[in-house]
A and B are shown apart, each in its own frame.
Chain A
């Protein structure tokens, strides 16, 4: 009898915990939607930020800025991450592989703000000004461990026989790695890359003192560049309700983009077939 009661209590407890764990997601999405939808209009996507008091205004420059920053991050993070993953999968069984894997873990658990101050001292302090390069560089480092680990896993799933067949045809090892193994694993790697991009799009901390912010159009990567997250932050902590409304609209846009990308990729990645 008592064990039955315990069993019931247990089932109820775990059920409510799981419900409580997903409740915030629903609450967050609902809240952002309700708060953000009112301030969203076409201007928001096409105009520069407006001063307090002026109606209208948008975040167009910050949206473009975010895409440029992500682009720079990919230039830094993808080659290192993908080649690193390939190397790990093929030669990384020994002690060296262990150390590299461990470094990737350390890198991925480093607070992003620490990576931010690294980019600050390396690039901002050297160039003596805030720039998109510094911000993109910081985001790129954040991508590296994510991309490395997914690439490694995906390359490992490619059947060994494929690799051996390539070598037997007399191809040099790197050609086999790049043209056979990499291509076969590409679908999976792509998923990892997109998820990494979705993650860095939401980063704020490493950007506030590297890419900084600007209220104007800027396409030069050696100048300060606006990003959606930093712009949301500046608006969110401002005392003006008009700016806060813009911050909600920005939050809604950002969350929408990130969730769509994540959902689509997750659905797509289930269809990946190896072998």
Chain B
């Protein structure tokens, strides 16, 4: 009797242990099951590289290239803003600021991560969009640039905290050696610390990208949602995630449109899987490097 209970509980712990694997596998399986049905009638090439996304016109067209490019453009813009800012902030927090200020800054940046994206998106509509509209004299401020700025700040907490960790994991002796040679703080950071932390920085950038490309509500509200091939960052765009969010509720279950949205889900799954793989690679390299020395 006791044996059996023990056996059952141990198995329960084990099953929960593999819960993450089970859910990842189930998600991938269901995405494939629904998404691949689309390719019975639409070929893969014209799905991925088709330039028209007209899911409810007659006949429907399911080209997601404008959506992919929309996601990439918004992400690229966010990375261009967030990475330099993130590296510099992490340096200030980890290397320059006095301890009390560094604690406050760290909490502030982390709290930013706790603000729901829906609230950020709403604020974006109310403040950022009109601002961009006036500055660039646009017909509408709801553009890829607005999305990039918004997402840059949403990626900052991820980027700053991982870079800060990797700067902190650079052995103290490196710093002391460099300063003892008469190098200034800037020279120490630029020539010694940044190279030593480079893997961690790359991992942080990858995870930041992952955060940005998967973000849905803020981009849905603020990028203008026009499924056209973007030619400028001052144009409205539509991202992969926003398309699913906007159309899933209306798509008739079992229709081509419905399958197409799941196929977009497969694309997102694959993208975030690859990003994670790359980030993991850099993360491990960072760990190994700093262990050796």
Contacts and interface: CB of A to CB of B under 8 A. Distances in A.
Interface in B1-52: 6, 9-10, 12-21, 23-24, 26-27, 30-31, 33-34
Interface string A14-46: 110110111011101001100100000000000
Interface in B111-139: 111-112, 114-123, 125-127
A162 to B, nearest CB: 18
Interface in B86-114: 86, 88-89, 91-93, 95-97, 105, 107-109, 111-112, 114
B261 A109 contact: no
Contacts of B185: 7, 10-11
A121 B262 contact: yes
Interface in A1-15: 3-4, 6-7, 9-11, 13-15
A263 B221 CA distance: 28
Contacts of B126: 31, 35
Contacts of B119: 28, 32, 202, 232, 251, 254-255
Contact of B93 (A18, A92, A112): A18
Interface string A200-213: 01111100110010
Interface in B159-204: 160, 184-187, 189
A266 interface: yes
A194 to B, nearest CB: 12
Dominant secondary structure at the B interface: helix
B16 A79 contact: yes
Interface residues of B, number: 84
A229 B220 CA distance: 14
Contacts of A83: 12-13, 15-17, 19
B116 A204 contact: yes
Interface stretch (B61-69, B208-216, B228-236): B208-216
A113 B240 CA distance: 10
Nearest to A82: B16
Contacts, number: 254
B272 interface: yes
B17 A100 contact: yes
A120 B112 contact: no
A28 B123 contact: yes
Given A6-B186, A121-B262, A203 B92 contact: no
Contact of A86 (B13, B20, B187, B249): B13
A259 to B, nearest CB: 6
Interface residues of A, number: 89
Given A3-B184, A118-B30, A120-B248, A110 B122 contact: no
Given A83-B13, A174-B9, A114 B265 contact: yes
Contact of B31 (A105, A114, A201, A254): A114
Interface of A: 3-4, 6-7, 9-11, 13-15, 17-18, 20-22, 24-26, 28, 31-32, 35, 79-84, 86-88, 91-92, 99-100, 102-107, 109-118, 120-122, 125, 141, 144-145, 148, 172-174, 177-178, 198-199, 201-205, 208-209, 212, 229, 232-233, 236-237, 247-248, 251, 254-255, 258-259, 262-263, 266
Given A7-B184, A236-B125, 8 more contacts: A9-B186, A11-B96, A25-B108, A83-B17, A114-B31, A114-B244, A125-B253, A248-B122
21 contacts: A6-B184, A11-B185, A17-B89, A18-B93, A81-B16, A83-B16, A102-B280, A106-B276, A109-B210, A111-B241, A114-B31, A114-B265, A114-B269, A115-B27, A118-B27, A121-B30, A178-B9, A205-B216, A209-B248, A255-B115, A258-B115
**Closest 3 pairs (CB-CB, A-B):** A202-B116, A87-B17, A111-B214
Interface of B: 6, 9-10, 12-21, 23-24, 26-27, 30-31, 33-34, 84-86, 88-89, 91-93, 95-97, 105, 107-109, 111-112, 114-123, 125-127, 153, 156, 160, 184-187, 189, 207, 210-211, 213-217, 221, 241, 244-245, 248-249, 253, 261-262, 265, 268-269, 272-273, 275-276, 280
